[in-house]
Amino acid sequence: MTSKERLKQTLNHKQPDRVVVDFGATPVTGIHVKVVEQLRDYFGLEKRLVKVTEPYQMLGEIDADLMDAMGVDVIGLNPRTTIFGFENEDWKEFKTFWGQEVLVSKHFNTSIDNYGDLLIYPEGDTSVPASGKMPKSGYFFDSIIRQEPIDDANLNVEDNLEEFKLFSEEDVAYWKRVAADIDGSNRGIIANMGGTALGDIALVPAPFLRNPKGIRDVTEWYMSTIMRTDYLHQIFEKQTQIAIENLKLFHGIMGDSIDALFICGTDFGTQDSTFCSPESYNELYKPYYKIINNWIHKNTNWKSFKHSCGAVESFMTNFIESGFDIINPVQINAKGMEPENLKNSYGNSLTFWGGGVDTQQTLPFGTPKEVEQQVIRECEIFAKDGGFVFNTVHNIQATVPFDNVIAMLNAIKIFNGE
C-alpha cells in the first residue's frame, strides 16, 4: 500500500497493512527543531540547517529524506502565514539560545529585552509592541498579552473578527501553488486552511496582529464564555460564515487531493477535568462546529480533525455529534483517558491521531525500554481495525532524551513487523 492508501484505510476504520505514522504534518504533531537536527544526523542525511517552519513552538521542517528515514506517511499543508503573521520566505540564519544554528524567515525579527529574553514581533514589524517572548532558558515562545481596556457597553464583534477574512488573491495564489506541489504525492495529506478555529486559546491573544482589539486576554476570554456568551455567539456565527466561504474556495483549489482538514485546536481539557461542562460546549461551540463539519461531509471526501488536550473523555460523544472524525492528541495520561476505554467506546466513530506515547512522563523521563513497551502497548490497543495514526501526545520537545526518540521509532517498526 502507498502511504495515501494506508491513511485512507485508517480514516475509514479499516485495517491497513501497517500503522500510519505522522511526524510534522500539523502544529500539534511536530518535532522541535533541535530534535529534527539530531534525527538528520542520526540517519546520516545531508548536512544542512533545519528550517523553523512554526516559530511559535520552534518546530522544525521534516524534509522528504527525513520522512523516508522515519517512515512518515503524512504531509501537512500550512497556511500562507505563521502564527506571528509573517510568511516563511527568503530564509536567513539565526542562532538560538541553546546554540543551534537554524534557518528562519526573513520576517523573523527579534530583540532582547532587559531580562535577556527574546522578543518577536507580529508580521516582523519591530515598530509595534512584541507579541511573543522566549525566555533565555526556554526553547519556544509564549504569547504576550496585549489587552486594551475592555468597555463592555461598547464591545464590537468586528474587533474579534479582524483576523478572520475571506481569502485574498494572495491566499488563492498561494494555495494553488501548494496544490501543484502535492499533485501526484503518494503520501496522505492533512491541510490547515486556517480560519476555522472557534475560540482557540493559542490564537485569542492574536500574536499575528500588530494592534489586536477586542477580548485578547486569555483569562478574560475564558470568563467571557460565561459572562459574554452572546458576544461570543456573534463572533462564532460570523466566523463560521466566513469559514464556509473559504471552504468553498479551498475545495475548488484542492478538490479531493487532501485527506483531512485541521479544523480547530481549542482545548477543552485540563489534566484531570474540563474547562466547561458538556452542556456549555453544546450551547456555545457545537452548533458552529456542526455547520463547518456538515459542509465538509456534504461536499468533500475529507475527514475533519479536532485537537483538544486534557481529560476530554466526557466530551467524546459531543465531538462525534459535532461531526468530527479525528481526535488529537489523545492525552492518555490525563484523567479518564484510558486507551482501552477510548478505543472500545469511541473507536468506531473517531480516529485517534496521537496517543502513541506519553510526552509528559514516559518519553522525557522514562528509559528507552519503557518507551518501547508503551509504544507497542498503545499501538496494540489503538491500531486494531484501523482508526489510529501514530503520533506522540503533542509535539516532541527539545529536551527529550534522544535515545528515547530512537526507541520510539524502533518500537513502531517492531510493531509493524519491519
pLDDT at 98: 98
Beta-carbon neighbour count of residue 399 at 10 Å?
Answer: 10
Q: How far is CA 234 from CA 158, 218, 237, 285, in A?
A: 10, 19, 5, 12
Q: How far is CA 314 from the centre of its chain?
A: 22
Which residues have a Cβ under 8 Å from the Cβ of 20 and sit 6 or more positions away? 3, 6, 7, 10, 73, 74, 188, 388, 389, 390
Residue 122 lies in a domain: no
Residue 275 lies in a domain: yes
Written as one string, the DSSP assignment of 305-319 is EEE--SS-GGGHHHH
Model pTM score: 0.97
What is the average pLDDT score of the chain? 97
In the predicted model, what is the mean pLDDT of residues 280-294? 98
Share of the chain above pLDDT 70, in %: 100
pLDDT in tens, 157-202: 999 999 999 999 999 999 999 999 999 999 999 999 999 999 999 9
Residue 128 lies in a domain: no
d(CA 280, CA 246): 27
pLDDT in tens, 39-95: 999 999 999 999 999 999 999 999 999 999 999 999 999 999 999 999 999 999 999
Q: How far is CA 38 from the centre of its chain?
A: 22
Range of the domain at 405: 3-31+71-80+146-415
pLDDT at 151: 95
pLDDT confidence bin for 18, thresholds 50/70/90: very high
Residue 186 lies in a domain: yes
Residue 8 lies in a domain: yes
Evaluated on CA atoms 243, 261, 200, 343, the torsion sign reads positive
What amino acid is encoded at 182 in this protein? Answer: I
In the predicted model, what is the mean pLDDT of residues 87-111? 98
In the predicted model, what is the mean pLDDT of residues 1-7? 97
pLDDT at 122: 98
Residue 50 lies in a domain: no
Residue 25 lies in a domain: yes
Residue 61 lies in a domain: no
In the predicted model, what is the mean pLDDT of residues 340-356? 98
pLDDT in tens, 204-213: 999 999 999 9
Which domain CATH number covers 202?
3.20.20.210
User: Cell numbers of 265, please?
Assistant: 485546536
Report how many domains make up the chain: 1
pLDDT at 211: 96
